[in-house]
Amino acid sequence: MQRIRLRYTKRGRLRFTSHRDFQRAFERALRRAEVPMAYSAGFTPHPKVSYANAAPTGTGSEAEYLEIALTEPRDPEKLRVLLDESMPRGLDLVDAVEARTTGLADRLQASVWELRLDGVTLQEARGAAEAFLAADSVEVERRTKNGLRTFDARAAVVRLEALEGPADRPGDTACAILRLVVRHATPAVRPDDVLSGLRATADLAPPVPAAVTRLAQGLLDEETGTVTDPLVPDREVVTAAPPTAAGQTAATEAPPAGGVAQEGTA
């Protein structure tokens, strides 16, 4: 059984799709592309698809990950193209690699988020970020299915910086960008929790809701506060390992450079 890991996005209006909406769209794409999926056992078999750390509904993302299991080997890039053609625009499959290592979910240690704050000046955003980082702890409240919960939003934030935002909307008077690296913890600290913390520590209250986008998620370098691509270990193993059956078939069928395929002779 071959496993393929894919990175996908949630862009534009499709950021408002729920995780369940994406699951339905992806399973339809699997059927349209006639992917030889492996299925679970039992009375209601379903395709073996594993999702890892999906972004909250309403946030955009450039770095969502999933893994599928196949009963026949396929070239990861060709499979990605076929699936992407069957997905709605905005839910784009942008990267694929054959899984040669374990623990993809364990490598998703932190996320890089970008918060666009329209109506907030760069000076206001910088002051709020400095006040947040200077605090030993920032307690925020979030309503969960078990009721109202209080937790520390400061402990999970590894980096937080304010940048000048683009003036790309008519009538914009100010726009600031907050770029933050958040460690994945329990309970999970979301971008809206950080915004609640900024409101509590610096009275920062954007006049319009922030546009939130996840730029990356993966392994966290504690010294630099950077987040690296979680698919790199699989690429390194694939590069060093012998080709799979799918790769050998493709190599056999490919014509030699500068000519057409010919039958070999002993």
CATH number of residue 58's parent domain: 3.30.70.580
- Based on the fold, state whether residues 30 and 87 are members of the same structural domain: yes
d(CA 71, CA 209): 45
| Domain containing residue 198 | 109-225
- Strands 110-118 and 175-183 turn out to be antiparallel
d(CA 199, CA 73): 51
What lies within 8 Å, CB to CB, of 43 at 6+ separation is none
- pLDDT value at residue 47: 93
Mean pLDDT of 51-74: 95
Backbone torsion region of residue 58, taken as left when φ is above 0, otherwise alpha when ψ lies between -120 and 50, otherwise beta: left
Residue 162 resides in a domain:
yes
Q: What confidence tier does 168 reach under pLDDT thresholds 50, 70, 90?
A: low
- Based on the fold, state whether residues 56 and 96 are members of the same structural domain: yes
- pLDDT value at residue 242: 59
pLDDT tens per residue, range 204-219: 999 999 999 999 999 9
- Based on the fold, state whether residues 116 and 98 are members of the same structural domain: no
Last residue of one domain, picked from the residues 61, 86, 106: 106
Residue 246 resides in a domain:
no
List 179's β-bridge partners, or say none.
114, 161
What lies within 8 Å, CB to CB, of 154 at 6+ separation is 132, 133, 135, 136, 137, 138, 197
- Strands 2-10 and 110-118 turn out to be unpaired
In this predicted structure, the answer to whether residue 73 has a pLDDT above a threshold of 60 is: yes
Give the domain CATH number at 173. Answer: 3.30.70
- pLDDT value at residue 171: 58
Weakest-pLDDT range from 63-72, 104-113, 166-175: 166-175
- Based on the fold, state whether residues 207 and 132 are members of the same structural domain: yes
Residue 78 resides in a domain:
yes
- pLDDT value at residue 261: 40
Mean pLDDT of 245-260: 45
pTM of the predicted protein model: 0.84
What domain count does the chain have?
2
Residue 64 resides in a domain:
yes
- Please give the backbone phi and psi of residue 176, each rounded to the nearest 5 degrees, phi first: -120, 155
pLDDT tens per residue, range 102-112: 999 999 999 99
Last residue of one domain, picked from the residues 39, 74, 106: 106
Residue 234 resides in a domain:
no
Mean pLDDT of 215-226: 94
